[in-house]
């Protein structure tokens, strides 16, 4: 299972775009990159997943460079309700039974 590294915390203001980068240097060929969001006192919830290039949904975008050794979660025009911890998880369809989370990035959005 690829080890991931993220910044421990980030601050932003409402209306700004936030980019959170995750490093995963030993990502395997079959691995996907999945991001979760966790609000206080709740379980994590799935935000977005990608394999390569760019993925966009109604909540976020995920940018993955060609070497796939890192990925960037982009949250457009954040609001106070985006204050949460964001986790990057790397795993594949054939080689991942254990799913171990990294430390996550604590995003604080200010008014």
Partner 1 sequence: NAGVTQTPKFRILKIGQSMTLQCTQDMNHNYMYWYRQDPGMGLKLIYYSVGAGITDKGEVPNGYNVSRSTTEDFPLRLELAAPSQTSVYFCASRFRDRGRFNEQFFGPGTRLTVL
| Residue ranges in contact with partner 1 by CB under 8 A | 31-32, 34, 36, 41-46, 49, 85, 87, 91-94, 96-104
Least separation in angstroms between residue 88's CB and partner 1 is 11
Of the two residues 94 and 111, which places its CB atom closer to partner 1 in the complex?
94
Of the two residues 79 and 95, which places its CB atom closer to partner 1 in the complex?
95
Least separation in angstroms between residue 49's CB and partner 1 is 7
Residue 99: alpha-carbon gap to chain centroid: 15
At which residue do the structure tokens 């590294």 appear? 5
Within the chain, strands assigned E span 9-13, 18-23, 31-38, 45-50, 53-56, 61-64, 70-75, 84-92, 105-110
Of the two residues 42 and 81, which places its CB atom closer to partner 1 in the complex?
42
Least separation in angstroms between residue 101's CB and partner 1 is 4
């Amino acid at each position: 299972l690829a080890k991931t590294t993220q910044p421990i915390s980030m601050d932003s203001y409402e209306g700004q775009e936030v980019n959170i980068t995750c490093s995963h240097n030993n990502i395997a060929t079959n691995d996907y990159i999945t991001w979760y969001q966790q609000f206080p006192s709740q379980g994590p919830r799935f935000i977005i997943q990608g394999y390569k290039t760019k993925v966009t949904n109604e909540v976020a975008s995920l940018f993955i460079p060609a070497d796939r050794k890192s990925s960037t979660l982009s949250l457009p025009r954040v609001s106070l309700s985006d204050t949460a911890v964001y986790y990057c998880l790397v795993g594949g369809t054939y080689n991942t039974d254990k799913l171990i989370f990294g430390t996550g990035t604590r995003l604080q959005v200010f008014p």
